[in-house]
Amino acid sequence: MPRLTRLTPDTAVGASRDLLAELASRHGRLGDMVSTMAHSPAVLGGYLQLSRAMGRAKLDRKVSERISIAVQTQQGCGLCLDAHISAARALGVDEDEIDRAREGTSADPAIAAIVALALQVYREPTSITDEQIDALREHGFGDRAIADVAGVVALNILTGSFNLLAGLTPGGDRDA
Which residues make Cβ contacts (< 8 Å) with residue 174, sequence separation at least 6? 31, 79, 82, 83, 86
pTM value? 0.92
Q: How far apart are CA 96 and CA 163, in angstroms?
A: 27
pLDDT for position 173 = 46
Q: Is the pLDDT of residue 154 over 80?
A: yes
Angle in degrees, CA 19, 89, 72, rounded to 5: 60
Fold of 61-166: AhpD-like (1.20.1290)
Q: Let me know: does 63 contact 114? Beta carbons within 8 Å.
A: yes
In the chain, where the domains are located: 14-54, 61-166
Kindly report, residue by residue over 35-79, the tens digit of the pLDDT. 999 999 999 999 999 999 999 999 999 999 999 999 999 999 999
pLDDT digits (tens, 9 = 90+) for 110-150: 999 999 999 999 999 999 999 999 999 999 999 999 999 99
